[in-house]
Every structure is written in structure tokens, then in C-alpha cells.
Amino acid sequence: MTTEPLPAIEVRPRDLSPYRAGNTGIDYVHRFDSGKPGPHVMINALTHGNEFCGMVAATHLLDTGVRPLIGTLTVSFANVAAYESFDPGQPFESRQLVHNMNRIWSAAQLDGDERSPELDRARRMRPAVAAADHILDIHSTSRDVSPFWVYPQFERNAALAIALARPSVHLVMPQGMRTGTPLIEHGAHGRPDHHGVGLVVECGQHFKRSTADFAIEAALDFLAHFGLLGPRPRPAAPQRRYGLLQTWMVKTPAFRFTRPLIGFETFAQGELIATDGADEIRAPCDDCTVLMPARVAIVGREGVYLTRPLD
């Protein structure tokens, strides 16, 4: 168990019951049609229950009456059940109830017989996700690191992330997530020939106000890019792109990093990064960069992502 102090909770959950009914027949899913031709864009929040920045961004869109100038806008809250389990004394525990809701979007799992709150919710949301041309799934990180994109290595995703310019850091998945199917790869969005973009934006540490503020800006940028809102200024920033090499799933309670990590530390080829029982996790290349190292190692969950610079 970690002995780290709990982070300050600058953003706390709010009652989402006023948003439950929506207007789609799916709880917590809201859709607005401009009546004019254009793309269908989805802004999704709370794939993980303790990632409050998405909740802030989604409620901002709804509370301020954002409506699309063209096309259709869908605003959704995914894992509300996990969100409602939040305990400030254990703020990391409400990430999920049973399943990681960002790994279960394959047809095999959604069409299977297994049940859980996350699977049941994904099945209900499935038509809304499938209907969207372009999806922004808003996330945050347990560690206090700079925001970054995460997306499958399709040219359409890279081109949009670069065009939006912020965040300026990218985690590119050449072979997908490798540990399951995320929401942005559900159905047609997981095919190289699909026209639609699917991006995750990791906005910063879960409970910081600056993370929530960034999520709002990211959502507005995304909508403006597709013409659903008016133009917005785009910062000029050098882009840093990392390709995913390996995702280490924790095998034993003895998983340990060789030194404290928060993310974006680099290792030389062969350098020891962590141990997991008898297994050693070593850098597969020079300048191996670790992303999203687990704050607490939990057997069966991701322990660390190993990447390499692409540019």
C-alpha cells in the first residue's frame, strides 16, 4: 500500500440527478440537433467515476446552454454509479465498481453474458456511442502531470490532435490499448477505414481545479474544430508524441517501482523500471518514457505504460 498523503480535493462531486433524464431515452445522455447538416460530435464524461474534470466540462456545456451551430451534439455521463460511490477519505476507489469501463467496448464483451454495473451501462450507452461521428472522451490522471492526448494510431486522430495543438503531448497506440477495447475504439471507431475521430484527453490530476478548467477548454476546442461552435484561438506549441510499446498488467501484490515515478521519466535500454514478484520490467529501448505509473499497484490492473518518443 502507498504511504503517500492524499491529494487536495479542489473539485468535488455534485448532484447529477437533474441531468439524469436527458432527452434520448438513455439516462444521462443529452442530444442537441441544430437542424443543419454537419457532424455528430459526442463529448463524454465520467468513464471513470473519480475523474471529475469530465463532469465539470459536461455540466458546463449543459448549464451554459451550448448548442451546435451545425450538426448534432451529444453530451453524456458514463459511469455515474461509480461517481456516486465517491468517498473523500478514499478518493481513488470510485474509479470503477467492477470493470474498467474504458476496456469493455468490444462486441464480445458487450454481447456476452457477463454482468456488472459497467457492462450494463455500456450496453445502454452503446447506441449513443455508435451514432457519433467524432468522440472526445474526457479523462484525468492520478498523478499531477501535464495533459496529453491518447488515441489509436489512425491518421485521422493524429491530424486532429495536432491541429487542436493543446494538449501538446500525445500517447499514440500503434496496436490499440492492448488491455481491452476503449470507448473511442468501439465499433467503427476501431477501424482504420472509418471517417470518425476518437480521442481521449487526459487533463491533469483528478481533483485539481486547473484540470477541470482544462477539460472545459478541450471540449470547446473539439466542438469548434468541427464547426459546432465558432472559431477559437489555437496556441502554437511544439508537439511531443510517444508510441506505446508495452502495457504492464500487475501480476502480484509485490509490484514495486525501483524509484518513485509520476510519469514522463525516462530510462535507458535494459534499465530496471519495476519488479513484479519474480518478473523484472526493464526498458525495451533507450529514452523509454513511462506514462501513467500506478499510484497503488492493484493485481489485474495496469501498472505502467512503456513508450518511446516518436518525433
The predicted structure's pLDDT at residue 237: 86
Between CA 110 and CA 115 the distance in angstroms is 9
| 76-127 confidence digits (pLDDT tens) | 999 999 999 999 999 999 999 999 999 999 999 999 999 999 999 999 999 9
Tally helices (H) and strands (E) across the chain: 6, 14
**Is the pLDDT assigned to residue 2 strictly greater than 60?**
no
Residue 98 main-chain phi, psi, to 5 deg? -130, -65
b/e per residue 286-310 (b: at least 16 CB within 10 A): eebbbbbbbeebeeeebbbbbbbee
Share of the chain above pLDDT 90, in %: 95
| 21-76 confidence digits (pLDDT tens) | 999 999 999 999 999 999 999 999 999 999 999 999 999 999 999 999 999 999 99
C-alpha cell at 198: 476518437
Task: Lay out the sheet containing 256-257: strands in order across.
Answer: 256-257, 272-276, 279-282
The half-sphere exposure of 14 on its side-chain side, counting CA atoms within 13 A, is 15
Does the global pTM surpass 0.95? yes
The predicted structure's pLDDT at residue 265: 98
C-alpha cell at 212: 477541470
C-alpha cell at 218: 478541450
Between CA 80 and CA 16 the distance in angstroms is 8
| 240-279 confidence digits (pLDDT tens) | 999 999 999 999 999 999 999 999 999 999 999 999 999 9
| 297-309 confidence digits (pLDDT tens) | 999 999 999 999 9
What's the mean per-residue pLDDT of the chain? 96
**Is the pLDDT assigned to residue 1 strictly greater than 70?**
no
Question: Could you give all domains of the chain from N- to C-terminal order, each with its CATH number?
Answer: 17-225 (3.40.630.10), 242-309 (2.40.50.630)
* Helix segments in the chain, DSSP class H: 52-63, 80-83, 107-110, 117-131, 155-164, 209-225
Q: How confident is the model at residue 3 (pLDDT cuts 50, 70, 90)?
A: low
Mean pLDDT of 281-307: 97
The predicted structure's pLDDT at residue 311: 77
Residues contacting residue 307 through CB under 8 Å, at least 6 positions apart: 171, 242, 243, 244, 245, 288, 289, 290, 291
Mean pLDDT of 162-187: 94
CA distances from 58 to 43, 65, 91, 154, 162 (A): 7, 11, 21, 26, 23
Is the Cβ–Cβ distance between 208 and 11 less than 8 Å?
yes
